[in-house]
Amino acid sequence: MEKRKIIMDCDPGIDDAIALAYAAAHPEAFELLAVTTVAGNQTIDIVTRNALDLSALYKLNVPVAAGMVEHHTASEFHGENGLGDCTIPRADAEPEKEMAVFYIKRLLTELPEGEKVTLICTAPLTNIGLLLKIYPEVKSKIHE
Q: Which of 77, 17, 15, 80 is nearest to 45 (CA)?
A: 80
Active site residue 45: no
Q: Looking at the chain, how many residues does it have? A: 144
Residues 51/80, Cβ–Cβ less than 8 Å: no
Distance CA 139, CA 111 (A): 13
Residues 54/27, Cβ–Cβ less than 8 Å: no
Helix axes 126-134, 100-109, angle to 10 degrees: 60
Q: Which of 11, 1, 2 is nearest to 120 (CA)?
A: 11
Active-site residue identified among 11, 53, 85, 92: 11
Distance CA 56, CA 51 (A): 9
Return the active site residues.
11
